[in-house]
Chains A and B, each alone.
Chain A
């Protein structure tokens, strides 16, 4: 039968292209993940150098927990990120509601202004804030670092909330108003609960951005208000330090948890 003679057909150009694309994507993911995995694996290596694998140890984690400056910087970072998150959520949620709900001439300008801190190179924000604080005679410290962080964090909350608002049924608010709620009550008791997944997602984003920020902090900190990234930067400049591997491993695990949780929130939001 002639049919049995049919050989496996030569892959057409399209098939070749698909193979190439899949292979390329796999390679890029290997490129993205191998360094991170190496970092985690070697955080359990008892040797100080990365060349050889000696033996398994938790030693670097134990040392990390007893390292005064790093722990102090981590506490500072947590405080700064928490305050930043709270302020960003307040500014971002209120701002999103007002940009979404009302039409007025300044709205477009404000919308553009909100986007600037998100795309502006961090070093420019850092130096211009430094000059502002110097001109205003403000001492650098926690307050100045937090001001810097809120400035680039709250737009992310605003954008997340705005996206959710666009999918919200406007009848919700009307119904609340018809049933006798004041506009403020309608906002607080009807709209805000609906926005919760977006607010939580925005808050997580603000927290993560603040925890990771180096450049703006670099220009607005004082010696007492040193954050974890500043401390890590100082150590990484000196050279290899397995404590940094351990610290990085903790952060990578936290990032994975954050990504999975944000994904879960998004699923909630879609329902």
Chain B
């Protein structure tokens, strides 16, 4: 475990907080309780409630919403969302890992430059970056124009509103979120361990798979958490790049709340999604902690 060596020699004397301190801390605790804990609890309650004809919520216990979640229609949508998110995560790891590793191994000057180059897309709104791909993939967009100029026959092609477009949009949006955490753990790699592997006769492939990957596992786990779970629920990108053709779980939840007005069912979908989030989080944390040794 990487937990900071606990109380040992404490810097300064950490007295227990007095009333002033608690008065300062109280707003934050109140805020977290009121806007994180309580809403999650209400979401749970709503998911067991019934709905009346006009979209109001009736506080009568029912399991109907959860039965509906396990209807094949919705299970398929869940499976599809998870599939897309898993594919996105896998591509981000494969594409991003060598980049993160290269940055971590670069000279100090280059490391700094390359990191800044990652930060710009990281901080640029995903909406803007998704729109960039719309201008490229749209039927009257850049890529079709390019293909026409090259006199490639058959066009214009319908590139937007395809599953491939959705994956491109997701990967493009989330790639920096995978590169940064992997960089974080690759940067801490002890060079002598890699040299030892080579000295002991390991080739690059063996050194990579037996030494480097296990040591950077915490970064991969953190990146996966930042990419996989958000990608499952990200309805805006799937909506913009996939049209209405490939509804994801995020689109369904959003629809239940804002159009269909079936809040209890939407809440049940939300609770199932929340459980998936908690389980993924727990698994990754345990795995990350174990491999960090």
Contacts and interface: CB of A to CB of B under 8 A. Distances in A.
B98 interface: yes
A263 B35 contact: no
A92 B35 CA distance: 15
B66 interface: no
A13 B202 CA distance: 11
Nearest to B138: A240
Given A119-B281, A127-B266, A151-B35, A236 B240 contact: yes
A227 B274 CA distance: 27
Contact of B17 (A32, A102, A132, A215): A102
Interface string B39-62: 110110010000000000000000
B229 interface: yes
B249 to A, nearest CB: 9
Interface string A27-52: 01101110110110010000001111
B199 to A, nearest CB: 13
B145 A51 contact: yes
Interface residues of B, number: 93
A194 B229 CA distance: 37
B141 A103 contact: no
Contact of A233 (B175, B236, B281): B236
A11 B31 CA distance: 59
Contacts of A259: 116, 119-120, 123
Nearest to B97: A24
Interface in B224-238: 225-226, 229-230, 232-236
B239 interface: yes
A89 B24 CA distance: 13
A121 B120 contact: no
Number of chain A interface residues as a range: 35 or more
A117 B233 CA distance: 15
9 contacts: A101-B21, A117-B36, A123-B254, A128-B270, A129-B39, A130-B257, A147-B35, A151-B35, A259-B116
Interface of B: 7, 10-12, 14-18, 20-21, 24-25, 27-29, 31-32, 35-40, 42-43, 46, 95-96, 98-99, 101-103, 105, 114, 116-121, 123-136, 138, 140-142, 144-145, 148, 172, 175-176, 198, 203-204, 225-226, 229-230, 232-236, 239-240, 250, 253-254, 257-258, 263, 266-267, 270, 273-274, 277, 281
Given A24-B98, A28-B175, 5 more contacts: A38-B132, A42-B135, A214-B127, A233-B236, A240-B134
Interface of A: 13-14, 17, 20-22, 24-25, 28-29, 31-33, 35-36, 38-39, 42, 49-52, 90-92, 94-95, 97-98, 101-104, 110, 113-114, 116-117, 119-125, 127-132, 134-135, 147-148, 150-151, 154, 158, 170-171, 173-174, 183-184, 208, 211-212, 214-215, 218-219, 229, 232-233, 236-237, 239-240, 244-245, 248, 251-252, 255-256, 258-260, 262-263
